[in-house]
Structure 1
Amino acid sequence: MATDFPAEISALRSTFEQIEAVTDPDTLRSQLSELEDQAGSPDLWDDQDHAQAVTQKLSNTKAELDRLGSFRQRIDDLEVLVEMAVEGNDAETLAEADAELTKLRADLSAMEVRTLMTGEWDERNAVVTIRSGAGGDDATDFAEMLLRMYLRWAERHGYATKVLDTSYAEGAGIKSATFEIQAPYAFGIMSVEAGTHRLARISPFGSADKRQTSFAAVEVIPLIEGTDHIEVPETDIKVDVFRSSGPGGQSVNTTDSAVRITHLPTGLVVSMQDEKSQIQNRAAAMRVLQSRLLLLKKEQEAAQKKELAGDIKASWGDQMRSYFLYGQQLVKDLRTGHEVGNPQAVFDGDLDGFIDAGIRWRRQQVSDS
C-alpha cells in the first residue's frame, strides 16, 4: 500500500508542535541569551567549576534549539520532496521520501521521550557504577561486557564519557567500574538502566558445556553541581591512598595516587584512580560521594513520605533485564516487555529501544501511582 504522505506529514507536524509546546523555545532562547551574557563575562573563569557549568549549559541549550529548528526544517523539506516526486511521477524520489519519513518518525519518538523526563535531576550528567555479582568469572566478564555496551552507546550518540575508576578481577573482566556520561539529560536517560542485569549463556570459562547464570548490578546517580551544597565533615570520612592497578591486579602507577574515601556514617565507599594526582583523585571521589549522599537523602525523604502514605511498593530495579546468549538468543526487559533477538547488537550499544521503553514505562508508573 502506498504511503499517505499528506496524512503522515500532518501527523508529524501535530506531534512536533506538542513537543515544541512542552519544550518552550521562547524560554530556551531567553535562557540562551542569559547564558551568553554570563559566558562573555571577563571574570567567568575565576571560578572554574562555575565556568564549566555555564559553558556546558550554554552548549546544551544551543543544541536543544538547533534540534527543534532542524526538525521543523526536515518536515518542510520532506513535504517539498514529496511534491516534486508526485509532480514528476518519480518512484525513486518517492522511495527516498519514504526512507526520510521513517527516520523522522524515529527521531520524533526520541524527542517525545525527552519531554517525559521531568525529574528533579534528569537534566544532569550521570555517574554510572557497574558491579559484578554472583557467577564467578562469568559475572566479572559480564560486568565488563556491560561497561563496553554503555560506552559504545554513548559513543554512538556523541556523548562524552570518562572512566573514573576500574577494579579489575584476578581472572576475567572487572569487579566494578565507575564512569561519567556528560550529556543533556544523561541522568534522566540512564536512570532507567539501574538495577540487576542477568546473563545466561554457555560459560566460556568452565570445562563442561553447562549453562551459567551470572549477575551484575548497575547504579546510576546524578552528578552534583556546586549549588547543591552537600556538606561532608572531615570527621565523617576516612581517606586511604594506594597505587592504581590494571588488569590482573598489576600496578600501573609507581606512586600512591589512587584514593578511596569511606563515609563513616553510611558506609558508602568511593574509589578513584583515573586522574594522575592524588589531589585530583580525591576531588573526583568527593564529587561522586556527595552525589550519592544527595541521592540517598532524597530517597530517604521519599521513603518516609511513602511510609506515611501507606505505599509499600517494592523497587522496580531488581532483575530488570535478562540477556540470553544460548538457544533463543534474546535480550528482554522484564519491566517493559521490550525484547530484541540480536544480543550482539545490544552489547554493541544498540540500547535506544530499551531506554525509550523504560522511560515511557517509568512515566506510566508515576501516572498510575
Structure 2
Amino acid sequence: MASTDFSAEIKSLRSTYASIEEVSDVPRIRADIAMLSEEAGVPDLWDNPAAAQVVTSKLSHRQSELERLTSIRTRIDDLEVLVELAEMEADADTLQEAETELKSVRKALENLEVVTLLSGEFDAREAVVTIRAGAGGVDAADFAEMLMRMYMRWAEKHGYSTRVMDTSYAEEAGLKSATFEINAPYAFGTLSVEAGTHRLVRISPFDNQGRRQTSFAAVEVIPLIEQNDSIEIPENEIRVDVYRSSGPGGQSVNTTDSAVRMTHIPTGIVVSMQNEKSQIQNRAAALRVLQSRLLLVKKAEQDAQKKQMAGDVKASWGDQMRSYVLNPYQMVKDLRTEHEVGNTSAVFDGELDDFIDAGIRWRAAQRRPQS
C-alpha cells in the first residue's frame, strides 16, 4: 500500500482553503463583526427587543462564519506540524493519526466549500419547512411523517434547534401537513435544495394484501422573515378563521378556538397554525410565515428566478426530485444529481448531508452561464 504524500496533500488543502477564504471575503466578515459589535454594545439596545434580536443574531452568524474559517486554517497548520513530528521520529501511530486528521480536514473543507455556494439573497436565513402528503392515501400521510422525522433528525445531528409550528394529522396514520422552523445560519440556503416532490416505493404496511405502494409528499422551504423585511399586508387582504386545535385521532388538545387559518386573498396563500398556546400567538406565527411566503413571491417577480423559490409542488407522478425505494430493493436516489445510497434507514434517520451537498453543487452548476 502506497504511503500518503502528506506534502502534496497539505499543499492541496492550503490551495483549496485560500480559494474559499477569498470567496468568503474575510476582511468584510471582520468589518461586519466590528460594526455589529459596536451596535450590540449600545446601552439602550434592548429598549427595542425586536431590533436588538436582529443585531445580536447577525453578529452571532458572522462570528460563526469567521470561526468556521479560522478553525480550518488552524487545523491545517496543526496537521502539518503533526506530520513533521511523525516523520522526524518515524512514528507509525502518529502518522496514522495524521492520516485520519487529513481525511477529516478534507471533509470539513468540502463542507465549507459548499457554504461558499450559498450566495442567494435569503440563503443565510433560518428556514421554515412545510411538508404535505400528496398522492397515495394513508401511505402518503405516513411518508409525510417519515420526512418530518428525517429533517428533525438531520437538524438534531447538527445541533440546530427546531420549533414545530403546525401539525395536521391524518385520520388513520401520519400527517396531512406539518410546518416547522429550523433555526441555524444558512438553514434556508442549505435546505432549499430539498424543496420539491419526494416519492416512496414500499410494501404498504396499511395494505392487508401486502402490495407494493407508491406515494408522494411535497416539501416546501422558505426563508424565515426578519423584523426589517417590511412586508406590509393590508388587513383587508387577509381572512382569518379560528378553530379548535386537534391532535392524533381527532382528540381535542385545546378547549378554546386557538388555532388560526390565515388566507391571503389576492394570492390564495393559506397558512395554518395551532401549536402555540393562544390564538394571539398562533395569529402572530401565521402572519410571520405568510410574510415569508410573500417575500419569496416578491423576489420571484423581481428577478424571475422562480426555480429557486418555493413553488407549486404537485406531489404526484412526473415531477418528483427524489425517490426512496424500500422494495424490491433498497435505494434512495436524487433524480437531479444522480447521487444515490443503499442505506435507506440511515437517510430516514437524518443522514442527508451528502444529498444536500450534491444538490447545492448541482444548483450552482445550473446557475452558471452556459458557454
TM-score range, shorter chain: over 0.9
- The residue that corresponds to 1:310 in the other structure is none
Give 1:209's aligned residue.
210
The offset of 1:227, in angstroms, is: 2.1
* Alignment correspondent of 2:299: 298
Match of 2:162 in 1: 161
* 1:150 Cα deviation after fit: 0.5
Cα distance in 1 for partners of 2:359, 2:89 equals 44
How has the CA–CA distance of structure 1 residues 105 and 37 changed in structure 2, closer, same or farther, with 3 Å as cutoff? Answer: same
The answer on whether the counterparts of 2:300 and 2:306 sit within 8 Å (CA) in structure 1 is no
Q: Residue 228 of structure 2 aligns to a residue in which SS?
A: helix
Counterpart CA distance in 2 for 1:54 and 1:278 is 29
| Separation of aligned partners in 1, 2:246 and 2:140 | 20
Question: CA shift at 1:298, angstroms?
Answer: 2.2
**2:213 is aligned with what amino acid?**
Q
| One-letter amino acid of the structure 2 residue matched with residue 107 of structure 1 | A
Corresponding position of 1:76: 77
Given the two structures, how large is their TM-score scaled by the length of structure 2?
0.94
1:143-292 equivalent positions in 2, closer than 5 A: 143-292=144-293
- Distance in 2, Cα, partners of 1:194 & 1:122: 14
- Per-residue displacement from partner, 1:202-258 (whole Å, max 9, x unpaired)? 111101121100000000111121222212111111111122211122111122221
| Alpha-carbon distance in 2 for matches of 1:72, 1:197 | 38
1:345 aligns with 2:346: yes
Offset at 1:368? 4.0
Local SS of the residue matching 1:71: helix
Q: In structure 1, list runs of 5 or more residues that go unmatched.
A: 307-313
Structure 1 position 36, deviation (Å): 1.2
Does structure 1 residue 122 correspond to structure 2 residue 123? yes
**Which blocks of at least 5 consecutive residues in structure 2 are unaligned?**
none
Cα separation, 1, equivalents of 2:44 and 2:275: 30
Amino acid at match of 2:246: S
The structural deviation recorded for 1:17 is: 0.8
Q: State how far apart, in whole Å, the 2-side matches of 1:120 and 1:207 are.
A: 49
1:146 is paired with a residue whose SS is: helix
Distance 1:29 1:183, change over 3 A: same
Residues in 2 aligned to 1:8 and 1:127: alpha-carbon distance in whole angstroms: 40
Structure 2 counterpart of 1:364: 365
Q: Percent identity?
A: 68
Aligned length: 362
Whole-angstrom CA distance in 1 between matches of 2:55 and 2:210? 55
- Look up the SS of the partner of 1:181 in the other structure: strand
Q: Does 1:22 align with 2:23?
A: yes
Q: 1:209 to 1:305 in 2, by over 3 A?
A: closer
SS of 2:178's partner is strand
Distance 1:111 1:175, change over 3 A: same
Give distance in 1, aligned partners of 2:39 and 2:150: 37
Q: Does 1:324 align with 2:325?
A: yes
TM-score (norm 1): 0.94
| Aligned residue number for residue 53 of structure 1 | 54
CA distance in 2, matches of 1:305, 1:352: 24
- d(CA) in 2 for partners of 1:305 and 1:189? 17
2:5 alignment partner in structure 1: 4
1:26-48 deviation per Cα after TM superposition (whole angstroms, max 9, x unaligned): 21111111111211222222222
State the alpha-carbon separation in 1 of the partners of residues 83 and 285 from structure 2: 53
Q: Which letter does structure 1 place at the counterpart of 2:346?
A: A
1:81-112 C-alpha deviation (Å, 9 max, x unpaired): 11111122111111111111111111100100
| In 2, Cα distance between equivalents of 1:305 and 1:349 | 28
Give the aligned partner of residue 37 of structure 1: 38
Residue deviations 1:38-62 (CA, integer Å, cap 9, x gap): 1122222222222111111111111
Root-mean-square deviation (Å): 1.9
Match of 1:106 in 2: 107
**Residue 227 of structure 1 aligns to a residue in which SS?**
coil
Amino acid at match of 1:220: V
DSSP 3-state at the match of 1:18 = helix
State the shift of 1:350 in Å: 0.5
For 1:55 and 1:116, locate their aligned partners in 2 and report how far apart those are by CA, in whole Å.
24
The one-character-per-residue Cα deviations of 1:3-40 (angstroms, maximum 9, x if unpaired) are: 11110010000100110111122211111111112112
Rounded to whole Å, the distance in 2 between the matches of 1:173 and 1:155 is 21
